[in-house]
Structure 1
Amino acid sequence: MQEIALLATALTLLAPVAVLAEEHSEEGYHPPSLGEFFPQAIFFDGTPFEMNRIVLVKLLATAVLLLLFWLGLRRASLVPGRGQNIVEVALGFVKTQFADEVLGEKIGRRYLPVLASMFFGILALNITGIIPLLNISPNAIFITPFLFAILAYVTFIYAGFKEVGPGKFFKNSLFPSGVPAPIYIILTPIELINIFLVRPLSLALRLTLNMIVGHLLLVLCFGATHFFFLQADGLDKLFGIPTLIGGIVFTLFELLVAVLQAYVFTLLTAAYIEQSVSEEH
């Protein structure tokens, strides 16, 4: 709800800019819409392998991420070089923040590969939203965050089954200790919905809405800047200055959001795993 409120507020604040641009443009100023997240096919149109701009951005971000890790670790040694040192610091951050701090060293080591893949994968796809010529995050399309959420969902259920067993996992999840027996009539259905339905949906929606909001804000600012500088007449061109400044500020803010959302998503996943493997909630 906070992300929706932010989007509504941003659109309200920038609406006068769009109206002013439309009044001075013969062709009309067209503010961004959700249609931008459903671009036309570029390759293999009409086939199961159809690829649009967002799919290409996703493939490119994944390839670059894999390349960076390969370059950093292809000649791993006890005395790390610059590339290996950067990769080890990045992996060390994930290990410390998510694996060791939340799960403990023993269990955290088992799930570090999943948490690291999740954090760097989400971060790479988020960053594309502020890279020139790419300018959109695949995580603004619900299916991509939903796949990450499914990974989190499968992981914390698998962890519960493996570490404490299916029976104790469901007992701890649906019948938390210290609750009077009659309360379970209300509490258990709520926990069932929360753990097995709300968790993955909330993870996916939080990430999706944040990336949608960020993209729309940037397009609003830079689209208005383009119009005022290149199409507006006379002193109206000066309106391009505040919209350009706004675009730069929102770009820096979007960079922070890109890192923060990857952090929050991975942290919540680690917390869900920890709840699944604990003896009692």
Structure 2
Amino acid sequence: MSAIGMTAIRAEGFTPPGPADFNLPPIGPDKTFEFLGETMYLGVTKPMIQLVVAAGVVFAFLYYASRKRAMVPGKLQYVGEAGYGFVRNSLGRDIIGSRDFTPFIPYLVTLFFFLLVNNVMAAIPFIQFPTFGRAGTAYALALLSWVVYNAVGIKRHGFFGYFKHQTVPAGIKGPVLLLLVPLEFFSNILVRPVTLALRLFANMFAGHLLLILFALGGEYLLLHGEGFTKLAGPVAFLMFGLISLLELLVQVLQAYVFVLLTSMYISGAVAEEH
């Protein structure tokens, strides 16, 4: 939307949503400080609480689902076994390989359910905030995966052997390596955690921003619209409902994609050839 259009909307009394809607103030005393010209908050925020709650939900679910280990599983055990089996087989064994996948299953299973619970929280009434719509949380999780697959690669191949494995394509020799080695290092070592986090963050951020736009826009049109513009309010709420369903699919899909890519990176790190 053009700057003129945005100004006109604000003049009419409607302030469109933006990145500031994701910068939630702390719960409790409001303490701030300046950093690089920006106002930063000190204290516990809603996304922090959601991260802790999500961790507790994942722990409780996995604990109670695996506690009895009955031959004929109950509903909770069945759901837990189905989720575990999906991650173990589809995202672990099939990608990393049957020889190397077993040590990584606890991390991959925990990562998948943690992402899933946090993402789905954005669709739960009265919570409705995507934790990974904040870039810092997405980059922190991507950094953790980056440490895991680089650490196992170094353990498997040795420090210098691993970096050679990641930067020197098999069968390539000669002066072309002067071009390929920096590109491979940049792509495989530096860029991967950035793109891994950016994909998750951008989808959660954009989807939630779109929902805010239709919800607030629909409310404004119903209360302040005139003539045909007032009729656009129910349409905006209808779009809000449809996009909510689509966003729920995206939330599940992004948990899957994040763990899928993590498995692929681990697979590449432990492989014998690049």
Question: TM above 0.5, one fold?
Answer: yes
The two structures have a TM-score, normalised by structure 2, of 0.88
Counterpart mapping for 1:1-281 below 5 A: 28-43=13-28, 45-46=30-31, 50-232=43-225, 236-281=229-274
Name the amino acid aligned to 2:18. S
DSSP-derived class of the 2:27 partner:
strand
Secondary structure of 1:105's aligned partner: coil
166-175 or 271-280: bigger deviation: 166-175
Q: Is the 8 A contact 1:126 1:258 kept in 2?
A: yes
Among the aligned pairs, what percent are the same residue? 32
Query: RCO higher in 1 or 2 (8 Å CA, sep ≥ 6)?
Result: 1
| Correspondence for 2:37 | none
Provide closer, same or farther for how the CA distance between residues 130 and 151 of structure 1 changes in structure 2, counting only shifts above 3 A: same
- Distance between the aligned counterparts of 2:7 and 2:29, measured in 1? 38
Assess, with a 3 A threshold, how the Cα gap between structure 1 residues 173 and 218 changes in structure 2: closer, same or farther. same
User: Conserved in 2, the CA contact under 8 Å of 1:127 and 1:258?
Assistant: yes
Compared CA separation, residues 46 and 252, structure 1 to 2 (3 A):
same
For the 8 Å contact 2:145–2:262, the answer to whether it is kept is yes
Q: What letter matches 1:32 in structure 2? A: P
The total of aligned residue pairs comes to: 265
Residue 260 of structure 1: CA displacement? Answer: 1.4
Higher helix share: 1
Structure 2 residue runs of 5 or longer lacking an equivalent are: 33-40
Once residues 64 and 225 of structure 2 are traced to their aligned partners in structure 1, the CA distance between those partners, rounded to angstroms, is 47
Per-residue deviation at 1:232? 3.8
Amino acid at match of 1:43: G
Q: Which moved more, 1:42-51 or 1:244-253?
A: 42-51
Q: Please say if residues 26 and 42 of structure 2, whose CA atoms lie closer than 8 Å, have aligned partners that are also in contact.
A: no
Whole-angstrom distance in 2 between the partners of 1:167 and 1:148: 26
CA distance 1:31–1:91, change in 2 (3 Å): same
With 64-73 and 259-268 compared, the bigger mean Cα shift is at 64-73
Shift of 1:237: 3.2
* Structure 1 residue matching 2:73: 3-state secondary structure: coil
Q: Which amino acid aligns with 2:21?
A: E
8 Å contact kept, 1:145–1:205: yes
Q: How far did residue 234 of structure 1 move?
A: 5.8
